[in-house]
Every structure is written in C-alpha cells, then in structure tokens.
Amino acid sequence: MADARNTQHPRDHLAGSHWANAEEPPWASGYGPRFRPSRTARLWMPVLVSFVVQVPAAVFVSLQVGAWPQGFLPIGFALLGVFGLLGVRRWPGPTAVLVIGAAAANALLSAQPGPPPISVAIVIVIGIVRGAQLWVFVTVGLAWLAVFIIGALTGVEWSPVRIAATTLAIAVCLVIGMAAQNRAQRFREMRQAAAQRRQTAEQAERVRIARELHDVLAHSLSQINVQAGVGLHLMEQQPEQARAALENIKRSSKDALEEVREVLGMLRSDASGSTPTAQSDESSQSPLRPQEDIGDIRALAAERTTAALTISVDGAEQADVRAVPHAVQFAAYRIAQEALTNVVRHSTASDVQIQLAVRDGRLVLTIADNGVGDGEPVAGGGLLGMRERAELLGGSFAAGWAPAASGEQQTGFSVQAYLPVRRTS
C-alpha cells in the first residue's frame, strides 16, 4: 500500500490553518459573526443622537430667554450643527468648519450655559478619523481664540468652570479622534500586509506549478521526440523496432497527460478551497497517485536507455537513501528527470551515471555523463529549475564541466544536488 504521505495534497498542511481559505485577516473576522451597521445607519445615527440631546436643550434655553430673535437663535444654531453632520463623511473638513462655527456663534450669544454641543464632539472625532486633521485642529484653534477675543471685546463674562470644562471636553475629543485614527491606520497597514502575504503565497504557488509543468512537459516531449526519430528511421528497415518506438510514444504521452491533469487539478482544488471528492463530476477531478520517489529513478533511467545511451543508477536501494523524507525524494526524482532530459536534448553523451548517497545529513545526488562541450552551460532553463528545487529544501546545487587540459575540449558534464535530510530552521 502506498505511503499516505505520497498522496497528500501540496496545500494540505494549511487545512487546519485560519488562513487556508480566509478572505479576510483574523482581526477583520474576529471570533464570531461580524456586525457592521449599514451605510444609512452610520450616516443618520450621529444626527439623531445630536438632535435628541441638543435640540430639546436649545428649546428650553429659548423659552427662558423669550425675546426675539435672540431667544430662537440657539435653536437655529443647534439645528445647523445637527444636520450639518450629514456631510461629515463625504466632506469632513468643511463640515467641521460649519458645525464648530455654529457652536462658537451660539456660545457668543449668551454667557449662560447652553445645550451641550454633541455635534462638535462628533465632528471632531469623525473629521480626524476621515483624514481632515488639519481642518479640525485649525478650526478648533481659531474658534477658541475668536470666542475669547470677541467675548472680551463685547463684554461677555465667562464662568471659569465653563471654560475649564469646555477646554477639557475639546481636548478629550481631539485625543479620542487621534487614537481612533491611529487605530484605523494600523488596521489598514495590517490588512495590506496580509494581502501582500497572500499575494506572495499565490505567486510562489504559481512558480511551483510552472516548475512542475516544465518538468513534466520537457521530459515527456523530449522522450516523444527521440522515439519519433527512432521510429521514422526504422520504419522501413525494422518495422518491429518502429512499432516499439510508437508504443513508447503512446505510453509517454499518456503519462504526460495524466501528470498535466494532476497539476491542473491542483489549480482547480486550490481555487475552490477543497480537493476534489468522490461525489464530484469525473470531468472536474484530477487523478491522485503517489508522487515519484527515489525508487522511480530506475524506471526513469530505463525509459531513457537506448542503444546509443546507457544509464546506470547506483545507491537507490540503500537503506539510508530509502529512509529520506518523501519531499526530498520527490525533489531528487525531478532533478534527475530534468538532468536526463538535458542529456537527451543537448548532449552527445553515450553514458550517464546516477549516484545517490547520504552523507553528513544530506542526500547527495550526482548525475554525470561523458558528453563533450565547447563552453559554459547556460544558467537558466532546466538548470535554474533544478537549483530552485534544491534551494527550496534548504540545500544547494552545482553543475559544470570537468576540468580540461589546455587546448582540449571539455569532457564530462555533471550535476550535483545536496538536499538536507532534515530541513534546517
């Protein structure tokens, strides 16, 4: 029976995580159902609260004064401040000027305490949170100076208790507004950081899938190309050998299609947030099969072996090699697969030796051929993919020609991957 780890989905380790399929960061979703008032409620709630507190108090003050028009001005200024809050979310700066100016004008009309300016407290807090800090601070400062200067010029006598209480209330509102604004800014930064982490994870997943597709297609198509050339060459002289080449093409193309379907199935399951189930439509399922390991390298070498190319594998059956974690075995298989693909496509080698061994806590994979070269290998392409696989596990990778004497051609290209048996922290 295949090891259960071999059929594990690449993202199964996220299944128990809050971030597996999260659309929002934890601070946005909280520990229970979110409650967010509607836009209409958020618009009218401050207006209703201010109206209930300020307008009845303004009516009471007007009834005490009784004279026209001074008696009814507190009601007008109270209504102006209350309904001015309707524009605080769209135009926080001008609304702060309107509401605070109305409260200042109302304070200059009478030295006696009037209705509590709840609308001023609301416009200060919301104005700062909405980004109109400069408007709010300048308006509060100018209004405070204007009330004192104009009051002194007109002979208004202010109660020291009223001055202290009003100053303290305004200061508290300013502090609350700045604290709320800083908290909102921190949440925005946290959401942006979470979005960046999700984008980075998605990009890494796309790179991983692109690497898998490259390995599958490059290996299979190069094998099909070689077998097709053999079939064409032997079609008339040795039809039986041509038939064997066509059978190899059929088998290679079938395996390639299955592997491509498996990789694309990962994309479908990632997009839906779950892996395909037995109840799903067969056309939307991807076949789940054990991932390749070191034991499959022999079969890979047998597929590549031809009359012109001999491939030997040494060390694949050693106990310490077979005990390597499966993630390392799969990476070793893919590196060997890509190296053999490069030999078939780009080399004139006739002999390839694959060696595996565990030394100093690392799986050492060596693929060496006897090909002849005329320059340094290109760093990109398959070599880059092999290097990425090794470094992803915390290992290292090296590739190059064997040293050649002066004036002689380089002979023997080797690929070496060092994969830690246990991932280092």
Q: Report the 3 state secondary structure along 51-67.
A: HHHHHHHHHHHHHHHCC
Q: What are phi and psi of 339, to 5 degrees?
A: -65, -45
| Cβ density class 197-229: b for 16+ within 10 Å, e for less | eeeeeeeeeeebbebbebbbebbbebbbebbee
Check if the beta carbon of residue 376 is closer than 8 Å to that of residue 354: no
Do residues 353 and 368 make contact, with C-beta atoms less than 8 angstroms apart? yes
Q: Helices 160-234 and 239-272 meet at what angle, rounded to 10?
A: 170
Neighbours of 183 (CB within 10 A): 11
Which pair of tokens denotes residue 242? Answer: 């041509």
Q: What is the pLDDT of residues 174-192, one digit of tens each?
A: 999 899 888 888 888 888 8
Delineate the domains of the chain, giving CATH numbers in brackets.
26-158 (no CATH), 292-425 (3.30.565.10)
Distance CA(118)–CA(48), nearest Å, equals 11
For residue 401, the tally of other CB atoms under 10 A from its CB is 18
The pLDDT assigned to 110 comes to 63
**How does pLDDT run along the chain (425 residues), one tens digit per residue?**
334 334 444 444 333 443 334 444 444 444 444 556 777 877 888 888 888 887 887 777 777 666 555 667 778 888 888 888 888 888 988 988 988 888 888 888 765 566 668 888 889 998 898 888 899 999 998 988 888 888 878 777 777 887 888 888 888 989 998 998 888 888 888 888 888 888 888 777 777 777 777 666 666 666 676 667 767 776 777 777 777 777 777 777 777 777 776 666 666 555 544 444 433 444 444 445 567 889 889 988 888 887 788 999 998 888 888 889 988 998 899 899 888 888 887 778 889 999 999 998 999 999 999 887 655 665 555 688 888 888 888 899 999 887 766 666 677 889 999 999 875 44
**Spacing of C-alpha 232 from chain mean position:** 50
CB 413 within 8 A of CB 347: yes
In 280-420, which residue ranges form alpha helices assigned H by DSSP?
A: 296-304, 319-322, 326-346, 382-392
Which residue blocks in 235-325 are alpha helix, DSSP H? 239-272, 296-304, 319-322
Rounded-to-integer distance, Cα 414 and Cα 420, Å = 20
